[in-house]
A and B are shown apart, each in its own frame.
Chain A
Amino acid sequence: MKAISCYVLIILGGWMFLSSFQNPDPAKISASNFPYKKAGLTERQAAAHLLSRFTYGATPAEIDEVVKQGLENWFQKQLIAGLPDDTLESLLANYDALKLSNSEVLAIYPKAGQTLRMAVKDGAIDKDSVKTNKVQYRQALDIYMQQKGLKPQRELTRQFISQKILRAAYTENQLQEVMTSFWFNHFNVSLTKNDCSPFIPAYERDVIRPNALGNFSVMLLATAKSPAMLYYLDNFSSSANDKNTNLRSRKKAANPDNQGKMDSLMTKLQKAKKEKGLNENYAREVMELHTLGVDGGYTQQDVTQAARVLTGWTVFPSSAYNRTKGLNQNEDRLEKRGFIHEGDFLFAANRHDTGKKMVLGKSYGTTENGYQEGVTLLHELANHQGTAKFISKKIAVRFVSDNPSQMLIDRMAKTFLDQNGDIKSVLITMVNSPEFWSAASLREKTKSPFELVIGSVRSLKAEITQPYQLYNWITRMGEKMYAYQAPTGFPDRGQYWINTGALLNRMNFGLALASGRIPGIKVNLAALNNNHEPESSQAALITYSKLIIPERNTEQTIERLSPMLNDPKLTEKVDKASNATSPIEKDQMNVVQMDPKPDIKTRRNKQEAMQNSVGSNAMLAQVVGVIIGSPEYQRR
């Protein structure tokens, strides 16, 4: 409760009484707390707006629920993110990779090439069979992997992506998940980089999600020390030039790098070269993208100096790779020499640049503790005025509009600085600002493909048994999850998401989802309306528009669609056409691509999807599909 009361202090700045958070009694929170009435919104409209920004989309009854418990209460609970998630947990229970540590991941899900080398080395596969007999070699490899308990890395990725889809669709703690996406994208790492990819599930789980509503400075430090980031932006390899290190310790220290057999001169040469280099990538991006922003007032000199400060920050070699190194036994000795080992992180003192450095006017390297220099640097960056503005703007762009006002940003930045980077406080300032509720912000944001897909699933209360099917659609619409290559992350503006190919795919997605043609995704449109069959297609249009796009002006949608529905022979036509259809063909292709054992599953999918579509009214499916593909539904 103590933590909460400190957020309340900020709210006291005019909007809310202390008692309201300490005693969340709905009766005591007056509706005027969030300033939406001044913007001319009703409570229901405000609830719809709130849900559109802080969840992946409202489920049909959610507006009522939020109004009932009070908008502020709802928001507070979302900030605390402690709602029980039993449904989600049971759905995730079957994904066995999600709880693994990084070293367990490396041990169980080796890279394809690594598995092959191991199999050849162990004599399970004849080297030449790889060339000559593909089938035989594949089989031998499968058997080898089974015996050794190894699994292909794509299975790890598949579980990881599936959990994200399930989590976003079903978690009660929606804001935490939305913020997890936001910060992941801010501190982007990418599955496209091989070295980094096995560490990404744990990165999201251990580094991003727990900090998503916490403290910015803490999160920044956690990202800096994570294997995913250390590999993605190369800091793992960054070390001081020789003149700046303690040569004695360098020679004597057990080399922490994953060495394996390095007997050839060539490899040694290469390694020496690799180790010598100062790598500026992380130092540059931490300033440009993670904290200060490109116009944050730092120079190239600051980048180089910061890179020197961060030399020696690397990944602790996994025991799976390094059983023979005996590094563990030496830990005491290493510690004496200034090495620091925390989980997957290693500060390798022998690589650290011990010289004097100067970053943004502050000097480093004057004390003995090399690791602490980096911690201090990151703390300085996290609490810099430029960072406050840069982060506040990015949050405002995510939650208010593509072009938030400077006044709003300044107000949020002030909170950021006053509260030492407390993320909840910044969000509270934002949602208490008139800009958040202004007419200019309503429906101003364009849903990303992920938001569209998850939002649709939530709108239709769809049941997901094969999350990966949705992944295929999200990819096709232009958002390949966790695979944005550049450290900038996906751009957060409508223009990026909306282009011709993507837009048609959005429409096709609506049609496919509503008509039950996506395998592994069940929709029951009749149940959405308590199994009341609409009296006419016109009535269906009105009813379902209100269910799916609540508290919006749907008049235009209804008006534009009505002529289509008034064709007297319409239902007949649609039914006839859809009965003649084998609906799955296309998605079958996707299953084949993604699933290693497609045959049985596909047949099952096909049957299942057929069943889904049978019994639901084809006309209704078409109406709902068009609503989901409509321009109104692309906005939030």
Chain B
Amino acid sequence: MLSRRGFLKSGGLALFGVGLSGGIPAFIAQAAAGTNLVLPYKKKKTLVCIFQRGAMDGLMAVTPFTDTFLKEARPGLFMSAAQNASGKPLIDLDGRFGLHPSMKSFEPLFRENRLGIVHGIGSPNTTRSHFDAQDYMESGTPFNKGTASGWLNRAVGLLGHDTLTPFTAVSLTSAMPRSFYGDNPSVAISNLQDFSIQMRGNQSGANMAAKSFEDLYDKTASGLLQETGKESFEAMKMLNKTDIKNYKPANNVVYPTSALGNSLKQVAQLIKMDVGLEVAFAESNGWDTHFNQGTENGVFARNVADLSNSITAFWNDLSSYQDDVTVMTMTEFGRTVRQNGTRGTDHGRASCNFILGNDIKGGLVHGNVQPLAVENLEDGRDLAVTTDFRSVFSEVADKHLGLKNDKTLFPDWKGTKIGVMKT
């Protein structure tokens, strides 16, 4: 198990320590916000994972619009890339796949070859239970429920640092996600402002309490409480250097006011603060579209708009940090090829995912999607899983974070990688 103690000892926070009495001089803070300042520790690459809970309909997000079987199976849901009355046709990516019109903010990123898509991705375990499929995907062991740790927690263990910062692995969720379960230090916090001692409006009371706490924890005999206490106050001071509440994104970016937008905005802040963030996790909900899924408009359209706009805002906000960041989406499974009786779709098998970054083989729809004739479908009803999610996750982890040990990351997996990342 990695300890954070070394991080504190090594003086990793020395720079921020300056701020304890008087605050970091403005010019240093500005330099730190840029890229050129040599910090006491090496600048980190960051992998941002977004879990789309509820199972995204990959066939509607990225539609094989030339497939007549699909058109037939989804009379009320199928959209085409041809100009239509609504004025919102699919965005033709490559003559075969069309991006949902509400994801128009993704188009430039795709054309610039920064955004890649993997279609037909999923789990080898055929369960169609949300719970089980999420559990398997997050633990990274599709046939073993009892795996205590999550794959991203194991990833933290593989980073190879002797020391970690309090912000090495951060989940922007109120509860620790299954992906983060495990022995390596990680934090779940839905709002960075909670990283403070709070007595609403009573700042001097809060300051006094903070000082008392800091003192008490500093002197306690319990190693665990002392160490973590120290880190907590250091972390708090690190964040206090920035006005989190009044954060101004770069390039006049405006984040969606959604949960995801808010999460990614905070991830961007952490990245810019250079506090050592390497694995970030956020969630997007509401993908279980059994009922009135909609087409150009409706619940699915709103969901993909939020997803793509949040990610795009994040990406543009990163500006000079883009080279160090990769964003990857995931969802537990896809949905039925055929629409159901309530203009929705039911639980299926494969879906698609999005990977954004400067080291992605972007501008391509990777993977293998056969024509959606019944004989090509899994169990005669679902888009077949042709790419194991572990293949993509491990390749991204390897190429972006340098994690080579697939055996630890995905214990039972022996597949090959499909080349979603530049070599």
Contact = CB atoms under 8 A, between A and B. Distances in A.
Interface of A: 113, 116-117, 120, 127-128, 130-131, 190, 192-196, 233-234, 266, 269-270, 273, 281, 284-285, 288-289, 294, 446, 475-476, 478, 480, 483, 485-488, 491, 494-495, 498-505, 507-508, 511-512, 515, 517, 556-557, 560-561, 564, 570, 573-574, 577-578, 580-586, 618, 622, 625-626, 629-632, 634-635
A480 B175 contact: yes
Given A486-B135, A486-B139, A631-B217, A625 B209 contact: yes
Given A446-B224, A504-B236, A195 B131 contact: yes
A278 B144 CA distance: 15
Given A446-B224, A499-B228, A560 B216 contact: yes
B194 interface: yes
Contact of B178 (A485, A573, A631): A485
Given A495-B224, A517-B200, A581-B202, 7 more contacts: A131-B298, A194-B131, A234-B132, A504-B197, A573-B204, A574-B208, A583-B202
Nearest to A120: B342
Please classify how large the interface on chain B is, using the bins under 10, 10 to 19, 20 to 34, 35 or more.
35 or more
Interface stretch (B38-46, B94-102, B184-192, B357-365): B184-192
Interface string B197-216: 11111111110110111011
Contacts of A192: 131
Interface in B191-246: 194-206, 208-209, 211-213, 215-217, 219-220, 222, 224-226, 228-229, 231-232, 235-236
Interface stretch (B82-90, B286-294, B307-315, B384-392): B286-294
Contact of A233 (B134, B145, B148): B145
Given A480-B174, A622-B205, A486 B148 contact: yes
A486 B145 contact: yes
B195 A504 contact: yes
A113 B146 CA distance: 30
B65 interface: no
A131 B292 contact: yes
By Cβ-Cβ distance, the 3 closest A-B pairs, closest first, are A631-B220, A193-B131, A581-B201
B379 interface: yes
**A498, A500, A511, A580: which has the most chain B beta carbons within 10 Å?**
A500
Nearest to A575: B205
Interface of B: 1, 129-132, 134-135, 139, 144-148, 166, 174-176, 178, 181, 183, 185-189, 194-206, 208-209, 211-213, 215-217, 219-220, 222, 224-226, 228-229, 231-232, 235-236, 290-292, 294, 298-299, 338, 342, 379-381
B224 A626 contact: no
B197 A507 contact: yes
A483 B228 CA distance: 25
Given A117-B342, A475-B175, A498 B187 contact: no
A140 to B, nearest CB: 15
Given A194-B130, A499-B187, A574 B194 contact: no
Contacts of B229: 503, 631
A631 B208 contact: no
A483 B209 contact: no
Contacts of B185: 499
Contact of A503 (B188, B199, B232): B232
18 contacts: A113-B291, A131-B292, A194-B131, A195-B129, A266-B380, A269-B380, A284-B144, A289-B146, A486-B146, A488-B146, A488-B148, A501-B194, A503-B225, A578-B202, A582-B201, A631-B220, A632-B216, A634-B225
Contact of B198 (A570, A586, A626): A586
A478 B216 contact: no
B130 A564 contact: no
A193 B148 CA distance: 17
A578 B204 CA distance: 9
Contacts of B219: 556, 560
B294 A131 contact: yes
A491 B130 CA distance: 24
Given A130-B292, A626-B209, A508 B197 contact: yes
B205 A505 contact: no
Nearest to A507: B213
A617 to B, nearest CB: 13
A561 B187 contact: no
Contacts of B211: 564
Nearest to A580: B201
Given A446-B224, A557-B216, A582-B200, A478 B188 contact: yes
A585 B205 contact: no
Contact of A505 (B194, B212, B225): B194
Nearest to B139: A486
B232 A577 contact: no
B212 A561 contact: yes
A502 B225 CA distance: 11
Contact of B209 (A128, A507, A556, A573): A507
Contact of A629 (B189, B205, B213, B294): B213
A131 B187 CA distance: 38
Contacts of A195: 129, 131
A39 to B, nearest CB: 18
A513 B369 CA distance: 57
B205 A574 contact: yes
Nearest to A444: B222
Given A486-B148, A573-B204, A476 B235 contact: no
A560 B175 contact: no
Contacts of B236: 504
A504 B135 contact: no
A498 B215 contact: no
B216 A500 contact: no
Nearest to A589: B191
A500 B219 CA distance: 17
A632 B222 CA distance: 9
A175 B185 CA distance: 32
A476 B342 contact: no
A358 to B, nearest CB: 22
Q: Which of B185, B220, B294 has the most CB of A within 10 A?
A: B220
Given A505-B194, A564-B208, A583 B174 contact: no
A501 B191 CA distance: 10
B379 A270 contact: yes
Given A192-B131, A500-B187, A631-B225, A478 B176 contact: yes
A581 B199 contact: yes
Contacts of B222: 631, 634-635
Contacts of A485: 131, 134-135, 178
A577 B197 contact: no
Given A499-B228, A508-B197, A487 B146 contact: yes
Nearest to A472: B174
A602 to B, nearest CB: 15
Contacts of B148: 486, 488, 491
Contact of B213 (A190, A498, A626): A626
Contacts of A500: 166, 187, 195, 228, 231-232, 235
Q: Which of B194, B205, B229, B298 has the most CB of A within 10 A?
A: B205
Interface-central residue, A113, A270, A635, by most chain B CB under 10 Å? A270
A580 B202 contact: yes
